[in-house]
Structure 1
Amino acid sequence: MPEPVTQKVLPVIWKFLLFKKMLKTLNDQMRPHFCSVDLDQPEVKLSPLPKEEEGSVEDECYCKVHTAGGVLVSVSRADICSFKVDAVVNAANEDLQHIGGLALALLRAAGPNLQKISNDHVAKHGKLRPGQAIVTDGCSLPCKYVVHAVGPRYSDSDRKTSVFRLKCAVTESLKQAELVSCSTVAMPAISSGVFGFPVDLCTETIARLILSYLKRTEIFH
């Protein structure tokens, strides 16, 4: 593997990269190119990452919980593009343009028809707003459906609204999956990538919301 490359930068740029987790955003964007960025004082170190072979992500389950109604909720590390479930949730943008991150990975696995379906929906119904979700066919994915959920862009100054909109996105995703009779759903950490939602807060919010949603819906089943 090549040696890391170190490049000095202006202190003002260094401070900017440290501001509001810009480093995390850069690393998220550079990971598909197998690079990472580390800051050591006013220096940027560009390091190659070991390339994973396609399909090499091994499923790893961290925990499982059975609800009172018998629903299994698990937290796993896995390739959502190959997850064999009824529906997977896509962390989408308002325009349903699947151009980066998880959305692009799902598009590559699903085939170009997924983007066409998304374009047709936006042309007919308009853009989605943060907290909204729609369901489409899964195309060439192993799943039957893709639920496209638009999460919020995280704001330190308005954390309450960010959390509320994330809860809306998760709730609407589950409702959309339920509308097409899905019994198994795979959901990523919506908004934790380029939208800047802190991972710990994001995952805790999603987990609590899912359990709360299941508890409410089990009462009426």
Structure 2
Amino acid sequence: MIEVLKGDITKIEVDAIVNAANTSLLGGSGVDGAIHKVGGTAILEDCQKIRSKQGGCKIGEAVITTAGKLPAKFVIHTVGPVWNKGKNNEEKLLASAYFNSLKLASDNQIQSISFPNISTGIYKFPKQKAAKIAIKTVSDFLTTTANLKKVIFVCFDEENYKIYSELLKKMKPRKSGLHTL
């Protein structure tokens, strides 16, 4: 089941929330800053351990940490691409960020997950294009796993909320109960 909500991802009660992180994993602005602020120091401490092992998180990859004080159990940190007019494989990298987050969730028996609108803030990925990639990647992935039961796209702004809502309305149900564009 795929849903869309307008709101604050740090208040969503799911098994895991996805953080639109930067490669350093040390927090930043936007969603990343909010998750670190609300979740507390436990998230940063886990991120520092990951940095010690592997030196951060590459664009399109994902790592998992505790959720600290957040209502979720885990935070999956993924790094989306900065938009450069599509010249640096940004679409494939964004799809990889969603896919690798979903794979990590499935591998950790996570049943519900919420995503922000990855790369559409300061990274300037076109919102419509990003939404299509996100929904397609999630829809395709859900056909390959029984672990994930619910995926929620949490939109902070009205523009993204409208885009996701319209795209999800156009989806046709599959026999499995999942939807596709």
Q: Same fold (TM over 0.5)?
A: yes
Distance 1:157 1:176 in 2: 26
Distance 1:143 1:127 in 2: 22
Query: How is 1:1-221 mapped onto 2 (pairs within 5 angstroms)?
Result: 72-158=1-87, 161-217=89-145
Distance 2:24 2:83 in 1: 18
Q: Is the 2:64–2:104 Cα contact (8 Å) retained in structure 1?
A: yes
- Give me the identity figure in percent: 29
Question: What is the deviation of 1:183?
Answer: 0.5
Distance 1:179 1:216 in 2: 12
In the superposition, the TM-score normalised over structure 1's length comes to 0.64
Report the AA paired with residue 94 of structure 1: T
Report the AA paired with residue 61 of structure 2: Q
Q: 1:157–1:145: structure 2 CA closer, same or farther, 3 Å change rule?
A: closer
CA RMSD of the aligned region, Å?
1.2
Equivalenced residues, count: 146
Indicate the structure whose relative CO is greater, using CA pairs within 8 Å and at least 6 residues apart. Answer: 2
Distance 2:41 2:66 in 1: 12
User: Which 4+ stretches in 1 moved above 6 angstroms?
Assistant: none
Report the AA paired with residue 189 of structure 1: N
Mark the structure with the bigger radius of gyration. Answer: 1
Q: What SS class does the counterpart of residue 89 from structure 1 fall into?
A: strand
Give a deviation string over 1:115-169, Cα, whole Å, max 9, x none: 121112112211221100001111111000000001111111516x100000000
Distance 2:87 2:73 in 1: 36
In the superposition, the TM-score normalised over structure 2's length comes to 0.77
| Unmatched runs of 5 consecutive residues or more in structure 1 | 1-71
